[in-house]
Structure 1
Amino acid sequence: MKLRTFIEHRLFSKFILAIILVNAVLIGLGTDSSIYANYESIFIATDILILAIFTIEIILKLIVYRQKFFNNGWNVFDFVIVFGSLVLYNTHLVSVLRILRVLRVLRTISIIPSLRRLTSALFMAIPAIGSVTILMGIIFYVYSVIGTSFFGDIAPEFFGNVGLSALTLFQVFTLESWASGIFRPIFTEVVWSWLYFVSFIIVSTFIILNLIVGEIVNNAQELSEHSEEESKDMQRIMKDLDELKQMIKDKEKKTEKEDEGRTG
């Protein structure tokens, strides 16, 4: 019971978060070859210490939660990263180990509740995002065929075939240099081409993208409301428990007084 209280305490979570952030800073500094060469021994020792702390954390959680530990997806994520780092340490699979070291930074998500809710909202939106992606693919294909048909001869480097057209439309979708680099040269040749580009931007960027963002926001809001309800329920339970404890104490005091009265 004391061990469970220890690992679920806020200070323990904050300590693990601090270690994750220190690990992230060290990974960033380690990418500089000159810094790493001068302090290689410190980097290696610190990495071993951080990995040891993470390992102890996972072991403590396994002792407390046992099989229930793996019922939580975030716990499984943490376990895979730490266990993979232990297994691959001092092996020839250095590139894989480096990836796992970088992935340790993602453990920040499993520590901070707000990030967990946001990530869960993103995963919940995947089915809706899949449908929106299919719709976007259809729109891209239709506009690619139209662009190839009307602008293929004018700008073959952008609309020479359906593939090039789709790639060009993706650049337009990101709003990256589309006006000066793509639109204006075509506009000088085909005046009505602005209808093509403006309509595509309105449909793809402003409408479709907002559908995806809106779905994620709605899911995040639902999870936040659910979390608040759970928090309120927990507060009610704790309040009821406190009242019950007080009633028991009052009953015990009353019984003690009655016993004293009888003995007196």
Structure 2
Amino acid sequence: MNHSTNKIQAIVYHPRFTAFITGLIIFNAILVGLETYPEIYQPNKVLFRYLDYAILALFAIELILKITAEKKRFFKNGWNNFDFVIVVSSIVLYNTNLVSVLRIFRVLRVLRTISAIPSLRRIVSALFMAIPAIGSVTLLMSIIFYVYAVIGTAFFGSIAPEYFGNLQLSFITLFQVFTLESWASGVFRPIFLEAGWSWLYFVSFIVVATFIVINLIVGEIVNNAQKLSEEIEKETGDIKDDTTEIGELRKEVAELKGMMKQLVERNN
């Protein structure tokens, strides 16, 4: 039993197996994209269906191999649980009438690329680690939005009621300015013609809300990604040290064996 488990582990953890699964996920993503073109999908509907059967079957086999290799440890990994939910849900819903739900899960299979590529996993893990800090930054951004919305409603409500007529409209307008989407021609210039000092309001908001706040969020994610990379490098270094020590021990054992052999030959 242990021998067969070791064989399965050797298969699952082999780089070629990982590369094959990654390629399969990418191929599945390409198929899902091609299905959005009726001129390609309609004449080849049967082919697409059989390819989807084959891909789902291979995903199921991969899942079974991983569970067999890792046993209880499989469900302690969040990425494994993510893969399990997507694959099992795709299988369970395949022959049901919930076609729209099935399509969602088929598209979600593309997200398995994240779990298959270590660099993407690190980025997503860094993003989740940054959520508490992002929450604080979001609160700060909400306060900034509220202050500027009140000021905008008070000063520009009569000039541009469609943008700053009330607090809700001011929030929506500020969000448009925050995204830098047509803020100059659509929002700023008509107000600037009536209130020349309004550039101070808009420029200060963009500098504070867009540049500073976004950089805070990006900086937090980058810091977490760097921490994860350092932890991985440290673990890799420890493994290398352990490997070196094992090599040295083997060398010493070989030397001891040689010395023992020489002593036995002398005694004889």
The TM-score, its normalising length taken from structure 1, stands at 0.96
> Are 1:242 and 2:247 matched, yes or no?
yes
Structure 2 residue aligned with 1:26: 31
Of the candidates 92, 95, 120, which is equivalent to residue 90 of structure 1?
A: 95
Partners in 2 of 1:2 and 1:249 — Cα distance? 29
1:111 aligns to what?
Answer: 116
Task: Give the CA deviation at 1:4.
Answer: 1.1
Deviation of 1:179 after TM superposition, in Å, equals: 0.6
- Aligned equivalent of 2:259, options 238, 254, 263: 254
Residue 195 of structure 1 corresponds to which residue in structure 2? 200
Q: Which amino acid aligns with 1:57?
A: E
Amino acid aligned to 1:73: G
Deviation at 1:113, TM superposition (A): 1.0
C-alpha separation between the residues in 1 aligned to 2:41 and 2:247? 55
Asked if 1:132 is matched to 2:137, the reply is: yes
Runs of at least 4 residues off by over 4 Å: none
Number of the residue aligned with 2:3: none
Determine helix, strand or coil for the equivalent of 1:38.
Answer: coil
SS at match of 1:234: helix
Q: CA deviation at 1:31?
A: 1.1
2:47 equivalent to 1:42: yes
> Partner letter of residue 247 of structure 2?
D
Counterpart-to-counterpart distance in 2, 1:3 and 1:260 = 45
Residue type of the partner of 1:236?
D
2:215 counterpart (188, 210, 214): 210
Unaligned runs of 5+ in 2: 1-5
Per-residue deviation, 1:261: 4.2
The percentage of counterpart residues that share the same residue type is: 60
- Segments of 5+ residues of structure 1 without an aligned counterpart are none
Aligned residues: 263
Q: Render the CA deviation track for 1:225-248: whole Å, top value 9, x for unaligned.
A: 111111111111111122222333
Report the Cα distance in structure 1 between the residues aligned to 2:253 and 2:92, rounded to whole angstroms.
Answer: 53
RMSD value, Cα: 1.2
Match of 1:157 among 135, 156, 162: 162
